[in-house]
Amino acid sequence: MPDGYLGPNTYLPFWIIMIPIWYYAGRWLRTNLRTKQVPYLALAAAFSFVIMMFNVPIPGGSTGHAVGSALVAIVLGPWAAVVTTSVALLIQCLLFGDGGITTFGANCFNMAVVIPFVGYYTYAFIAGKTKMTDRRRIIGSGVGAWLGLTLAAACAGFEMGIQPIINVSSAGVPLYMPYGLNITVPAMVFGHAFFFSIVEVIVTVVAFTYIARNDPTIIWNYKAVETASKPRVPAAAA
Amino acid sequence: MDKVFRNLLIWLLILVILVPLGIIASGTAYGEWGADELQSLIGYVPAGFASLQGLYHAPIPDYGTDWASSLIGQSLGYYLAAIIGVGLLGVLFYLIGKELTKNKEDKEDTA
């Protein structure tokens, strides 16, 4: 969302919410990042940036794009995705004028928090205690990517759609986003659910499947997944 | 170089090579209209919206696509933006990652 679509009573709270989230995400990365993952972290941040440059046209003349942060969340952990996606969004905003300064907190909340956490936990829920190469994990990664981006779009639609309710001039004219929830939420959800989230699903499933099959040790929680997926051996037989 | 990393890097480079596909879509994303587009959509520019315009001027607006009108010129600008963004983020996160892991034994990696 560019500058001007959200009023201060909306964009300031998102900045305030994001500050502790960024702080904790940085701490998490310091504690949990492994030496072997360093090149993949760099790759993930670069990937986030370039995938967002693929604008997809949809019927009605609008465009949009995937974000790639569900994939980063599943492979490097949702907190790592908070960091890589936020910094990619920062570069977009500061260098290329894409996404506002005032709305930066809200944009990070939608794309660097909602997508990674909804994406990862949906994947983890569907995957259960299966092995890293199990089909359920692949399905989970796809469903997580779709739900993450689609819900993030709904959040953005909600943030814009409440503007004509909470920010109007004394004459009743909208000061920021002029369209209400009945228009913004369906518009954002439609474009994402049927188009951009599909792109998100494809990149997530392809890359996750490749990594899980070829070098699962890159994946942040592969040890926990391995331990949990071991068949339980009765004590007497062990 | 690790084979998996090398292959993922190749995929990333393919994405960079294909990046001009991203400018074929000429429409504006939902909720990202400029002042003139809002004017034609609703007949006015919201006052609060107007007051927040021009807060910041990015050095490479529109990902370098507005310096030329030809598709080739726009593609070159877009390539340059992709290379700057990918290069900057790649180098930055490589350095951050190195710094964060510099005193780690990393037993998990040898397991």
Q: What does the domain layout of chain B look like in residue ranges?
A: 3-23+36-102
Residue A237 lies in a domain: no
Residue A82 lies in a domain: yes
Closest chain B CA to residue A94: B58
Report the gap between the CA of B92 and the closest CA in chain A (Å). Answer: 7
Residue A26 lies in a domain: yes
pLDDT in tens, A109-146: 999 999 999 999 999 999 999 999 999 999 999 999 99
Residues of B within 8 A of A5 (CB-CB) are 31, 49
Residues of B within 8 A of A55 (CB-CB) are 22-25, 29
CB contact under 8 A, B25 and A63: yes
Whether the per-residue pLDDT at B111 is higher than 70: the answer is: no
> Which of B26, B103, B47, B60 lies closest to A97 in space, CA to CA?
B60
Strands A56-57 and A63-64, how do they pair? antiparallel
Report the gap between the CA of A220 and the closest CA in chain B (Å). Answer: 10
Residues of A within 8 A of B29 (CB-CB) are 55, 62-65
Output A31 or B66, whichever has higher pLDDT: A31
Whether the per-residue pLDDT at A218 is higher than 60: the answer is: yes
CATH of the domain at A166: 1.10.1760.20
Q: First-to-last CA distance in chain A?
A: 58
CB contact under 8 A, B90 and A188: no
Q: Which domain holds residue A209?
A: 8-226
Q: Which helix (H) or strand (E) holds A173?
A: none
Q: pTM of the prediction?
A: 0.95
Domain count, chain A: 1
**B108: pLDDT confidence band, cut at 50, 70 and 90?**
low
pLDDT value of residue A206: 98
Tokens of B70: 């030809």
Lowest mean pLDDT among A150-159, A187-196, A223-232: A223-232
Whether the per-residue pLDDT at A63 is higher than 80: the answer is: yes
Residue A78 lies in a domain: yes
pLDDT value of residue A236: 64
CA dist A118 and A66 (Å) reads 15
> Which of A84, A123, A131 lies closest to A204 in space, CA to CA?
A123
